[in-house]
Amino acid sequence: MMHMSTVCACLAAVLVLNCLHVSASQRVNKTAEFVATDEWQVIAEGQAIPKGLHVRINLQTGLKEAKLLDPSERDTAMQSQSSDSDPGSGSISDPLSIEYKADMIEESVRKVKEHRGYAELRKAYKDFQKNFRTDAEVIVQLIEQYRNFSKTPLDLEIKPKMNALENLGYLVHQIDNALVFIDSGGLDDIILPIVVNDTNTALKVSAMRVLGALTGNNPKAQIKVFERNFGSHLAQIMMSSTNSAEISSALHALGALLRKFPLAQQRVLSTSGTQALIGLLRSTEIELRNKAKVVTLISDLVLEKRHVIDESKEEALAQYVLLELESWLQSHGYCGALEAVLSKDYVSLLDQPEVVEQFAVALQTTESLCQPLWSQSPALRHALLTVRNRFAHSEDEYRSEVSQALAELCERFYEKHSHSEL
């Protein structure tokens, strides 16, 4: 019995020693020597490997791995080693520490990171595709959103309405987007109700800006806007409002509607349009910048008609010949209204050279229409000479150019007076 227990103890000791030997052997293999096989094996951190192995970075795990070369690769590697070794040296290549391959490992790690980055980019792109919407889809959504605003109290509506109009104003600058907006009911359901009935000035201003954006240089949109009688509605706003922003946006929208559209010019200007424009010039409550916009619009329309007639463009000539713009301007007192603006407010113009230039262009454009009156006006002459002289002594090049334009006008209007005064 004693003999059997002794034998068992000896056997247990042998087994323990054998396991310790195997464990130690495994630890040595991990840290001391890499034993390559035909299968990929992970290279431990800092572990040295012999030359002539196939080394890679596992793109899935990011770990370094190595294995024996395939027969075809081994022949090529042997030729490369023999050509690289020193002549006469018969020594077997020493094990090469992984640190000697630092640049290669860094490049492999970089590729792993790039691979992961590419995967992330693909995921982000797929997410973007899910959330991507075309301009047309956004416009339809904004229109629908605006239609639902009436469900909320008025004091909570203003800000989201303003945001929607601002976004629409940006989108409808493009011709196709403007047509989508119109075809989706934007004019009828949003712009027209605001311009005609809304009492909130900020909303009216925003709506008219959208109207000007979608109508400018867009003949199809101009027709749709004209058919809904926006010209008369804008004229009514200009005759009744004294708010600077409201007047400015109405002028912008009206100009976008009328330019290069003789039918709209005929219908709007022959009725209330010209009266509204001249009324702004006469008003003492309208600032000079808006009055300058009025005369600029008038000048543009006069030049547009003149250019078409001079160029004898047959496709549009018949429509422009019917326009009696000069007659409408005279009958509503345009010449006297412009004279009064410059004669009374010229002191305010001394610090606004860009506004002076707008008035100077208007004087030049409509000179043939108003020259008999203007040339007999001492007050207008005094105003023009005062501004001209002030700008002539300025070191600013722009003011000097405006001064020269005024000097040329004075020469033509008042050539009978002595040149010393001019």
Tens digit of each residue's pLDDT (9 = 90 or more) over 209-268: 999 999 999 999 999 999 999 999 999 999 999 999 999 999 999 999 999 999 999 999
Per-residue pLDDT, 403:
97
127-136 pLDDT, tens digit per residue, is 655 555 799 9
Q: How many CB atoms lie within 10 A of CB 27?
A: 10
For residue 416, what are its two tokens? 């009978």
Question: Average pLDDT of 416-421?
Answer: 48
- Tell me which residue of 343, 260, 244, 344 sits closest to 294, measured CA to CA: 244
For the segment 387-398, the average pLDDT, to the nearest whole number, is 94
* pLDDT, tens digit, 9 for 90 and up, residues 17-62: 444 344 444 444 445 578 888 888 888 877 888 877 888 888 777 7
Opening angle at CA 407, ends 403 and 410, nearest 5: 140
Crossing angle (nearest 10°) for helices 288-311 and 353-365: 40
Nearest one of 208, 173, 216, 160 to 187, comparing CA atoms = 208
Say if CB 269 and CB 325 are below 8 A apart: yes
Burial class (CB in 10 A: 0-12, 13-18, 19+), 207: buried
Q: Is 282 exposed, middle or buried (0-12, 13-18, 19+ CB in 10 A)?
A: middle
Give tens-digit pLDDT for 271-305. Answer: 999 999 999 999 999 999 999 999 999 999 999 99
Q: Does residue 109 surpass a pLDDT of 70?
A: no
How confident is the model at residue 180, as a pLDDT?
Answer: 97
More confident residue, 185 or 62: 185
| Model pLDDT, residue 89 | 42
